[in-house]
Amino acid sequence: MLVAWTRFNTAVDHSFSSDTSKDKLLMELISYFMQRGHFDPKDIGNDFSIELHATFIEMLDGQKRYFLKKDIVQFERYKYALDDEFRALQTTFFDLAYERYVQRRNEAKLFYSELLAKPFDFTKEEEINLDYDNQDFAINARQRRDKWRKQLKLSTLNILHTKLEEEEKQAAKDTDYTPKSFAVLEQESRDITLENIENYFSLMDDVREEDWFGSYLNAFVSQFDPHSVYFAPVDKDRFDASMSGKYEGIGARLTKRNQVIKIVDVISGGPIWRAQSVEVGDQIMMVRQEEGEPVDVQSMRLDDAIKLIKGPAGTTVYLTLKRVDGTIEEVPIIRDTVELEESYLKSTLIEKAGRKYGFIHLPKFYVDFRDYKERNAAKDMEREIIRLKQQGVQGLVIDLRNNGGGSLQTVVDMAGFFIDEGPIVQVKTTEEKSRILKDRDGKTLWDGPLVIMVNELSASASEILAAAMQDYERAIVLGSKQTFGKGTVQNVLELNRFVSKGTYGDLGALKYTTEKFYRITGKSTQLEGVNSDVVAPDRYAYVDIGEKDQENPLIWDQIPAAPFTKWNGYQNYKEVIARSSKRIASDSLFQLIDKNAKWVRQQQDKNDFSLNFDHFSSEIDKDEDFVNQFDALDDYNNKLTFKSLPYELTKMKKDTILAEKRKRWKKVLNKDIYVEEAISILEDLDLNFISKKPLALQ
């Protein structure tokens, strides 16, 4: 994701309806801005209608376990009409599809418990196919019921097999232990399946019609490209929190199960953590504001309960809690700004053979769009590099694996830390010439050896940083054959600003693609991503997860290059790449990783499963025997030493949660062969301090 938070930059020459329903107003607003503001506007005609029709039915019933064939036949009448419905602001198809979905879902509620009331016949020779794309909908209720029976049987079979294995292990460990019978374990497995499906329906019952209409709007928006999204108000709040890494509230994560809302996590540093007044496992029964009566939240949707609990920093909310021990009491909590530590970068010192290296993990390019001067990824990166330099590090690794992107401004600022000055990325709208975003400060924060780590899930802003450092030959990019391949920029448009305040409540926001970005060489990263200098096998190597595997991606193209000069700070840049590639090619553990990745792909492509216990167990046992060869990946230890920086050691003395998180992270890093290779690359890189004159790129 790459987001630039700006106002709609085209004059709005349209008067939006003020005497219509909220749903119709949203249709009008979204269709207007998608057609006039999107980078690649679509012709909203019959072809568009066909795809929108199919997308929404997929959203409602992708596993084809609710609708009957006759429902689909009835829906087909609207296959070519949805473009006309959007123009006329009509919701006939949505109303029909939603009402039928609720009807069919309620029908399923009537028979799933009956199917789980008696033992399954696991001696019967039958199979289930999970390739829903190539299946049809059930012709009648009997066929649909049988599809449910097989799905519930497979779920129970998975649980039963695991339980039997656990009993065997317990009996082997304790000779006095009497294993439970097959019948008892089968009953327990069905009970778990029943509980799981009841929890699923409880969650689905909380999804209201307006939520599904939001999905319908997203089905419309997604026809333009995979990264344009309509945010309902609650989704917009989540997006803001994910981008900034903070929100205002009590500092807890909640879950709802069996009509009970519980605390499942206390966020380190938040109000609850500081007050030590609430514990994991406490149940929230009532919520009271500073003024007003308590509100019972036990039967409320989780999202609605969270709205009551969240609030401006400095205000007090009163929670009536049922403690784990059964006692009930009301607890006051002063709300505050809560920072989600896992959203922010973190670093560690790595020691090897008497030398120190810096390692920075950046999960996303976060920013507070309301105020860029607030905490953001670039400012934190600058601060962390300075701290690492104070420790005398001789090389730096930036880990962008699984980093889906974020703010455009932060990545431009960040790239400037590693060069004196020059272009970082080019950005282009449909109609305008490309703009070159540059680093202009004339100074370099880090001029030592640099490695950028990426994988197939490194996207957008991650690709900008990796591409710029690669084009300058400033860093060696280590990772997957190519990154995600998202070369587009999105803007977020607050929809409330186009209607009278308070008329419709909160309308949410529209995130839509307005620009494409290009490397300084002029090549797009769209679809192609960034090809690593050193390619290392990884678990995603054969899985379809890139931009090219999404629905409706924009095309790849190219524009003229921006003038720039290569860094020329290494004496042996090409040689180090070749040496690392050779090391990886001959490493038995990397070869095992590649073998594992191919096996993962084979498992993903597997859709047919036996529902006969003996056959099912036999297949599982074969898979387990095959997987045993990958135990070496879990047993691996790179023998590197990881240490926290002094400022963090001070924090951890007061924050045991942070200390435990860092301990777990370092344990993971010790099992990371890619980190070891990154350090080997840093060891190999020789800096040319005698002649650092840049080479002109012709």
Q: Are residues 568 and 583 in the same domain?
A: yes
Residue 72, pLDDT score: 98
| Rounded Cα–Cα distance for residues 279 and 265 (Å) | 8
Confidence of residue 374 (pLDDT cuts 50, 70, 90): confident
Is it the case that residue 14 has pLDDT exceeding 70?
no
Confidence of residue 689 (pLDDT cuts 50, 70, 90): low
Query: Computed from CA positions of residues 106, 85, 230, 74, in that sequence, does the dihedral angle turn out positive or negative?
Result: positive
Is it the case that residue 559 has pLDDT exceeding 80?
yes
Residue 8, pLDDT score: 43
Residue 4, pLDDT score: 61
**Residue that finishes a domain, picked among 339, 361, 382:** 339
Token readout for 630 is: 């990958």
Say what the pTM is: 0.90
Q: Are residues 346 and 331 in the same domain?
A: no
The CATH number for 323's domain is 2.30.42.10
Is it the case that residue 277 has pLDDT exceeding 90?
no
Residue 16, pLDDT score: 66
Alpha helices by DSSP H, listed for 257-320, are: 271-275, 302-309
Token readout for 675 is: 């980190």
Confidence of residue 572 (pLDDT cuts 50, 70, 90): very high
Q: Are residues 216 and 137 in the same domain?
A: yes
Confidence of residue 418 (pLDDT cuts 50, 70, 90): very high
* Mean pLDDT computed over 404-420: 96
Q: What is the per-residue pLDDT across 66-83, written as a single tens digit (0 to 9) for each?
A: 999 999 999 999 999 999
| CB neighbourhood size of 110 (10 A) | 9
* Mean pLDDT computed over 590-603: 93
Residue 108 domain flag: yes
Residue 3, pLDDT score: 67
Q: What is the per-residue pLDDT across 217-257, written as a single tens digit (0 to 9) for each?
A: 999 999 999 999 999 988 888 888 888 888 899 999 998 88
Query: Residue with structure tokens 């991503």?
Result: 529
Burial class (CB in 10 A: 0-12, 13-18, 19+), 327: exposed
- Distances in Å between the Cα of 484 and the Cα atoms of 1, 47, 538 are 10, 28, 14
Confidence of residue 696 (pLDDT cuts 50, 70, 90): very low
How many domains does the chain fold into?
3
Residue 7, pLDDT score: 40
**Residue that finishes a domain, picked among 165, 192, 223:** 223
Residue-averaged pLDDT of the chain: 92
Residue 557, pLDDT score: 95
User: Which is more confident, 369 or 322?
Assistant: 322
Question: Going along 194-327, which residue ranges are E strands?
Answer: 229-231, 246-249, 252-257, 260-266, 283-288, 295-296, 316-322
**Residue that finishes a domain, picked among 188, 223, 258:** 223
User: Which is more confident, 488 or 372?
Assistant: 488
Q: Could you tell me if 294 and 318 are in contact, meaning their C-beta atoms sit under 8 angstroms apart?
A: yes
Residue 234 domain flag: no
Number of H helices and E strands in the chain, helices first, is 21, 26
Q: Are residues 313 and 385 in the same domain?
A: no
Residue 534 domain flag: yes
Residue 570, pLDDT score: 95
Residue 113 domain flag: yes
Q: Are residues 365 and 425 in the same domain?
A: yes
Helix, strand, coil share of the chain (percent; to 5): 45, 20, 35
Task: Give the whole-number percent of the chain exceeding pLDDT 90.
Answer: 75
Sequential DSSP letters for 451-503 = EEEE-TT--THHHHHHHHHHHTT-SEEEESSB-----EEEEEEEGGGGS-TTS
Q: Which domain holds residue 274?
A: 246-339
Q: Are residues 278 and 204 in the same domain?
A: no
What residues pair up with 361 in beta bridges, in sequence order? Answer: 346, 399
Instruction: Give me the half-sphere count of Cα atoms (radius 13 Å) on the Cβ side of residue 455.
Output: 16
Is it the case that residue 698 has pLDDT exceeding 60?
no
Is it the case that residue 5 has pLDDT exceeding 80?
no
Q: Are residues 323 and 424 in the same domain?
A: no
Residue 690, pLDDT score: 44
Q: Are residues 63 and 203 in the same domain?
A: yes
| Rounded Cα–Cα distance for residues 551 and 460 (Å) | 17
Q: What is the per-residue pLDDT across 279-319, written as a single tens digit (0 to 9) for each?
A: 898 999 999 999 888 888 887 888 888 999 999 999 999 99
Pairing of strands 346-352, 229-231: unpaired
* Mean pLDDT computed over 609-636: 92
- Distances in Å between the Cα of 256 and the Cα atoms of 72, 194, 210, 640 are 33, 17, 20, 42
Burial class (CB in 10 A: 0-12, 13-18, 19+), 53: buried
Is it the case that residue 190 has pLDDT exceeding 50?
yes
Q: Could you tell me if 316 and 335 are in contact, meaning their C-beta atoms sit under 8 angstroms apart?
A: yes
Residue 68 domain flag: yes
Q: Are residues 555 and 595 in the same domain?
A: yes
Residue 342, pLDDT score: 85
* Mean pLDDT computed over 436-456: 95
Residue 10, pLDDT score: 44
Residue 9, pLDDT score: 45
Q: Could you tell me if 120 and 148 are in contact, meaning their C-beta atoms sit under 8 angstroms apart?
A: no
Residue 431, pLDDT score: 81
| CB neighbourhood size of 189 (10 A) | 23
Q: Are residues 97 and 165 in the same domain?
A: yes
Burial class (CB in 10 A: 0-12, 13-18, 19+), 564: buried
Residue 23 domain flag: no
Q: Are residues 392 and 511 in the same domain?
A: yes
- Among residues 173, 219, 193, 223, the alpha carbon closest in space to that of 117 is found at 193
Residue 187, pLDDT score: 97
Residue 586 domain flag: yes
The CATH number for 500's domain is 3.90.226.10
Residue 14 domain flag: no
Q: Are residues 472 and 545 in the same domain?
A: yes
Q: What is the per-residue pLDDT across 475-534, written as a single tens digit (0 to 9) for each?
A: 999 999 999 999 999 999 999 988 877 677 889 999 999 999 999 999 999 999 999 999
User: Which is more confident, 611 or 442?
Assistant: 611
Residue 657, pLDDT score: 84
| Rounded Cα–Cα distance for residues 612 and 648 (Å) | 55
